[in-house]
């Protein structure tokens, strides 16, 4: 005899697909869902459905959006002569939170990693190159990992004959950081790339 309703098992199975969610946690989530008011569960279901129907990616920059073009590409006051290249939408959220950037973005949708089968064709690189005609500066805001570096170098090679200025995020001492506890590689880089006072 099967103890639990099959629907519950199926929900558990789907929930356990999330990163960081194991079978046990998924089951607890599924059980908790049963305690929710019916309307709330229906609302969640509707939202999930809407996510498929309404949310897509911006045809210009690749940002996850409900409108196409996305609010940033469509904004009249965003400076189109500067493009900031990032790995995914989460990075845009982080940069937007700083309130220091008024240009536009381009989302690669990943990072070059032949080990994981991600080559240039798997990323939004063609659409990026097509945007470059009116662009003066490209800012590479990629993670300082081996793969981030590979992607940056690849893009730099791709753009080397174009009259576009390429910059990348500075690396160094974090705000509120204590020099004593910063790793040697970061501190070494901060020394090399020091600024005039």
Partner 1 sequence: MLIKSLSMKNFRVYEHAALRFGEQTNVLFGENGAGKTTVLEAIHCLAYTRSFKTHLDGELIRYETTEAKVGGNFSGDRKNDQRVEMFLSEKQPKHIKVNGALLSSQADLIGRIPLVCLAPEDGVVTSGAPADRRRFFDKLFSQVDSVYLQALQQFNRVLKQRNAQLNDYAVNGTPVNSELLRALDTQVAKHGAVVQEKRAEYLQKFKTFVYEIYQELEREKTFKAAYVPSVKPKAGETVEAAFQRELEASRPADMRRGTTTTGIQRDLFLFYLNHQEIRRYGSKGEHKLALVALKFAEGRLLEDYLTEKPIYLLDDLFAELDIKRSVQIIQSLPEGYQIFITSTDLADLRQHGMTLESEKLTVFDTGKLRDVAA
Least spacing, CB of residue 82 vs partner 1, in Å: 23
Based on CB atoms, which residue is closest to partner 1, 57 or 186?
186
Whether the CB-CB separation of 148 and 142 falls below 8 Å is answered with: yes
Question: In this structure, how many other beta carbons lie within 10 angstroms of the beta carbon of residue 170?
Answer: 9
Based on CB atoms, which residue is closest to partner 1, 46 or 116?
116
Based on CB atoms, which residue is closest to partner 1, 47 or 153?
153
Integer Cα distance of 48 and 185 in angstroms: 44
Residues that bind partner 1 in the complex, under the rule CB under 8 A: 112-115, 119-120, 146-147, 149-151, 153-154, 156-158, 183-185, 188
Least spacing, CB of residue 183 vs partner 1, in Å: 7
Integer Cα distance of 159 and 43 in angstroms: 47
Least spacing, CB of residue 155 vs partner 1, in Å: 9
Based on CB atoms, which residue is closest to partner 1, 28 or 189?
189
Least spacing, CB of residue 3 vs partner 1, in Å: 27
The residue among 163, 166, 158 whose CA lies nearest residue 138 is 166
The Cα-based distances of 40 to 15, 35, 104 in angstroms read: 17, 10, 37
Whether the CB-CB separation of 82 and 152 falls below 8 Å is answered with: no
Q: Where are the alpha helices (DSSP H) in 55-125?
A: 71-74, 89-98
Least spacing, CB of residue 188 vs partner 1, in Å: 7
Question: In this structure, how many other beta carbons lie within 10 angstroms of the beta carbon of residue 11?
Answer: 18
Whether the CB-CB separation of 112 and 151 falls below 8 Å is answered with: yes
Based on CB atoms, which residue is closest to partner 1, 57 or 124?
124
């Amino acid at each position: 005899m099967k103890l639990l309703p099959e629907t519950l098992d199926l929900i558990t199975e789907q929930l356990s697909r999330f990163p960081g969610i194991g079978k046990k946690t998924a089951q607890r989530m599924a059980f908790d869902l049963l305690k929710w008011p019916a309307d709330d569960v229906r609302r969640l279901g509707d939202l999930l459905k809407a996510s498929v129907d309404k949310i897509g990616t911006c045809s210009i920059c690749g940002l996850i959006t409900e409108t196409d073009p996305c609010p940033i590409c469509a904004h009249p006051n965003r400076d189109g002569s500067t493009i900031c290249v990032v790995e995914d939408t989460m990075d845009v959220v982080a940069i937007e939170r700083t309130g220091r950037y008024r240009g536009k973005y381009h989302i690669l949708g990943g990072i070059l990693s032949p080990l994981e089968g991600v080559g240039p064709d798997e990323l939004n690189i063609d659409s990026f190159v097509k945007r470059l005609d009116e662009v003066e500066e490209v800012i590479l805001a990629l993670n300082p990992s081996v793969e981030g570096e590979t992607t940056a170098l690849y893009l730099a090679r791709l753009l080397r004959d174009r009259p576009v200025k390429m910059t990348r995020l500075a690396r160094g001492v974090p705000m509120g950081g204590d020099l004593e506890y910063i790793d040697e590689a970061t501190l070494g880089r901060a020394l090399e790339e020091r600024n005039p006072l």
